[in-house]
Amino acid sequence: MKTAIRFATLLASTSLPVIALAQEATETTVLKPIIVTAQKRTAESKDVPASIVVESGETLALQKTKRRDDAIAAAPNAQTGAVTAKLYTSFTAIRGVGSALIESDPSVGVYLDGVGIGSAQAHSGTLLDVDRIEILRGPQGTLYGRNNIAGSVNIISNLPDPDRTGGELGVEYGRFGTATATGIFNTPIGDNGWAARGALSVSKTDGSLYSTINDDDLGGGKDVHGRVSIAGDLTDNLEFLGIVDIERQVLDGEMLGMPEADFLKGRRGVAIDDPIRIESDLATVSGQFTYHLDNGDKIVSITGFQKSAVDVGGNGFPLGYFAAYDGLFQSLGFPNFRYRADNPFDGSYRQWSQEVRYVSEDNERFNWVAGLYGEFSEGSRTYGANSTFTGGAATLSTRGDTDTVSLSGFADGTYALNDQWKVFGGLRIGHDRKSFDYDFTANKTAELLGLTGTFARGYNARLSETYVTPRIGLQFAPMEGLNLYGGVSSGYKSGGFNSGFVGLGDEGAYDSESVTSYEVGLKSATLDDRLRVEASLFYIDWRDQQVQGFNGLTGATPISNAPQSQSFGGELSAAFDIDNHWSLTAGAGYADATYREYRNARALDGSGAVDVSGNQQQFVSRFTGSAGLSYQWETGLDDLVGKVGVNYRYRSSYYFDVQNTIQQKGYGLIDAYVGLENDRYAAYVFAKNIGDTDYRTVAANLGVGTLVSPGDPLTFGGSFKIKF
């Protein structure tokens, strides 16, 4: 035990943040209990036999974490990024398991106030009036069902408070014309325990890049995000919570430039005159009823509706990039070929869900939950013309529509064998049914010139799968403040259909994928609960991984299955309340995620299959580390408390492609804040990427050269908030 504490303290002093726990200055220095609902029962995080990272809304606000994917990436062994362009599709991986796919279902489940966000396009939304975020590492197939093979993320909003009338108004301004205005208001409704809460955020940025053609700003956008919630007691035993969350984003996509050396030398200009423009609408509506039984048990019903739509237009490629494509096709016998400058795309997704679960009363011997879940979704994707001849005479497009019905039942519980030993486990049985309609459209000119010959025509298909995802394990508490656990869990991700440009030799459908995870861990609280240390080791056996390929000759982007993949590693984290003023957090993660057997990966030039067995998973760093140090003090002036914090996050090198040819070197980012606040005002200044580190968020070789997009450089600004 002493060795573990020494190692955690050493790690905290050298590698540096998970999450800076900004504590109010008090007479005692005890870390606040971390209450979670990650296992659909209320419990302290230290008592849950699973690897969980909890980020408080206060911490997220201090660190100026604005987006969901940025909050996820703050946890060790969790990584996010863009596969192609902002909101076009995003990438999220936990413990090396993720999906770098434009088309398929996500591998990490994201839940907003209990409602699953089924479209990966909606995972990149902004954070607004958040109470906390719970990040569960490892497959969560038993409690959360399909498409949670890597883990789950629960975003919990601040709820209406019937005992408070008030709110806050805030403004923020920073580099590159970045500005945000936020308002929050809470009010009781009558005197019977009902309350309502509203939050609104409006933001804009000019972007950190510029066009070398017309000197316009690039990479900017606007965002409007609002939420209204209402809560109260319908009867003495029945509670209701209703939430409507709506967001509208209009953003520039990733600015792709070449040669990549220009960006790595710090140049922020790119030869683009028609940037990718992405318009995205996100909406989540939920109604939750909780009925309390006389014996202390309760029945919870959550009805949810989630909708997202994205419309992508414009170019986003540097001038002259497609000249190489023109030459390629001209050499194949198309002398008048000209590649289309823009490549429009639009997609929509609608989801209805219903869960009913029975939750037992908390007791020392047996705690359990059981329920039923149903989901119906409709998804549609349209890809615009892939290429065109002079004058726009020949065009191609595809449209894929997928309807999904998913039904499942689950049960999970923990049984105390004695004061030290507990056994936990559960089981989910589910069934997925998908129907797919695919249309390929080409005008007469394209057909006469034979341009359609490389692509599949329209077709219809059906899919029906039954899955079982159990988990089982043991928990041991040898002494007060120490919990050890070990277990096996599983996850399932549904199969699907290719809806983009599909070559004639490509499979229209791809199989489901599954994981089995083996994990051991410990959770410790020592020094009068001022020091918490958590550690875990895992091995994940990953079968039939869904991988998206790209054919640089035809432009086809089919998904296929890699027979065997694996990931193994561990995490170590610590939170230490040193005294009334100083707090320290640190964490590290290691995940060696590889394609164990994948002999038929797509060759970029369309020449055939490539054996990438043993290669590192794309977008996944083997090592991630983070740490934070915060200090606060009483100023003695108008009850003002001063706060200062510095945070560091590191990720080792990773590859952007399955072939492991395009690499991002390891890099670290330093952020800091300092400010004053009391119960009426708050004023802060902040800086992000203080070292002005150069790194890439996107790098891709589309067959004729590598395109890259840089990450944000040094940014800084200030904020002011009035509380009332």
pLDDT of 502-543, one tens digit each? 555 556 789 999 999 999 999 999 998 899 999 999 999 999
Band (701; pLDDT cuts 50, 70, 90): confident
Best-predicted range by mean pLDDT among 108-112, 224-228, 332-336, 460-464? 224-228
Tokens of 329: 């096709």
Sheet containing strand 209-211, strands side by side: 217-218, 209-211, 269-270
C-alpha torsion sign, points 17, 23, 25, 31: negative
The structure's pTM equals 0.90
Band (4; pLDDT cuts 50, 70, 90): very low
Per the listing, tokens 């486990």 go with: 425
Band (345; pLDDT cuts 50, 70, 90): confident
Q: Which residue has the higher pLDDT, 82 or 182?
A: 182
Tokens of 79: 């990584």
**Stretch 19-28: mean pLDDT:** 40
| Torsion from C-alpha of 359, 360, 364, 366, nearest 10 degrees | -100
560: nearest Cα among 579, 543, 544, 576: 544
**How far apart, in whole angstroms, are the C-alpha atoms of residue 243 and residue 157?**
10
**How far apart, in whole angstroms, are the C-alpha atoms of residue 630 and residue 342?**
47
In the prediction, which pLDDT does 709 show?
A: 80
Q: Which residue has the higher pLDDT, 486 or 601?
A: 486
**How far apart, in whole angstroms, are the C-alpha atoms of residue 301 and residue 682?**
39
**How far apart, in whole angstroms, are the C-alpha atoms of residue 245 and residue 305?**
10
Q: Which residue has the higher pLDDT, 601 or 16?
A: 601
Which residues, listed in sequence order, are joined to residue 523 by a DSSP beta bridge?
483, 534
Percentage of the residues of the chain whose pLDDT score is greater than 70: 80
120: nearest Cα among 112, 132, 108: 108
**How far apart, in whole angstroms, are the C-alpha atoms of residue 289 and residue 270?**
52
In the prediction, which pLDDT does 231 show?
A: 98
Band (457; pLDDT cuts 50, 70, 90): low
Considering only 10-24, 122-136, 671-685, which range has the smallest mean pLDDT?
10-24
Identify whether the C-beta of residue 562 lies closer than 8 Å to the C-beta of residue 543.
Answer: no
Distances in whole angstroms, Cα of residue 350 to Cα of each of 122, 310, 496, 616: 11, 12, 17, 34
Residue 110 carries which side chain, given as an amino acid letter? V
Band (262; pLDDT cuts 50, 70, 90): low
C-alpha torsion sign, points 392, 395, 398, 399: positive
Complete domains list, the chain, with CATH:
2-723 (2.40.170.20)
Beta strands at 108-112 and 151-157: parallel, antiparallel or unpaired: parallel
For 571, counting Cβ atoms within 10 Å of its Cβ (0-12 exposed, 13-18 middle, 19+ buried), the class is buried
**Tens of pLDDT, residues 301-343:** 999 999 998 887 776 666 666 666 666 556 655 555 555 555 5
Band (613; pLDDT cuts 50, 70, 90): very high
Considering only 19-23, 488-492, 580-584, which range has the smallest mean pLDDT?
19-23
In the prediction, which pLDDT does 388 show?
A: 44
In the prediction, which pLDDT does 422 show?
A: 97
For 42, counting Cβ atoms within 10 Å of its Cβ (0-12 exposed, 13-18 middle, 19+ buried), the class is exposed
**How far apart, in whole angstroms, are the C-alpha atoms of residue 24 and residue 11?**
25
Tokens of 89: 């599709």
Q: Report the SS3 class of residue 190.
A: coil
Q: Which residues of 619-649 are buried (b: 16+ CB within 10 A; e: fewer)?
A: bbbbbbbbbbbbebeeeeeeebbbbebbbbb
Tokens of 194: 């009902």
Band (119; pLDDT cuts 50, 70, 90): confident
**How far apart, in whole angstroms, are the C-alpha atoms of residue 475 and residue 660?**
40
Q: Report the SS3 class of residue 172.
A: strand
Which residues, listed in sequence order, are joined to residue 693 by a DSSP beta bridge?
none
Which residues, listed in sequence order, are joined to residue 405 by a DSSP beta bridge?
376, 433
Tokens of 131: 């109470």
Considering only 82-96, 249-263, 708-722, which range has the smallest mean pLDDT?
249-263
**How far apart, in whole angstroms, are the C-alpha atoms of residue 400 and residue 104?**
12
pLDDT at 209 over 50: yes
Q: Which residues of 247-276 are buried (b: 16+ CB within 10 A; e: fewer)?
A: bebbbbbbbbbbebebbeeeebbbebeebb
In the prediction, which pLDDT does 212 show?
A: 80
| Torsion from C-alpha of 490, 493, 495, 498, nearest 10 degrees | -150
Q: Which residue has the higher pLDDT, 63 or 384?
A: 63
Best-predicted range by mean pLDDT among 445-449, 554-558, 624-628? 624-628
C-alpha torsion sign, points 670, 671, 672, 678: negative
Tokens of 333: 């016998």
Average pLDDT for the chain: 85
Residues 6+ apart with CB under 8 A from 719: 64, 170, 171, 172, 173, 675, 682, 683, 684, 685, 686
**How far apart, in whole angstroms, are the C-alpha atoms of residue 521 and residue 538?**
9
In the prediction, which pLDDT does 206 show?
A: 92
C-alpha torsion sign, points 109, 113, 115, 119: negative
**Stretch 678-691: mean pLDDT:** 97
pLDDT at 497 over 90: no
Distance from chain centroid for Cα 467: 24
In the prediction, which pLDDT does 548 show?
A: 81
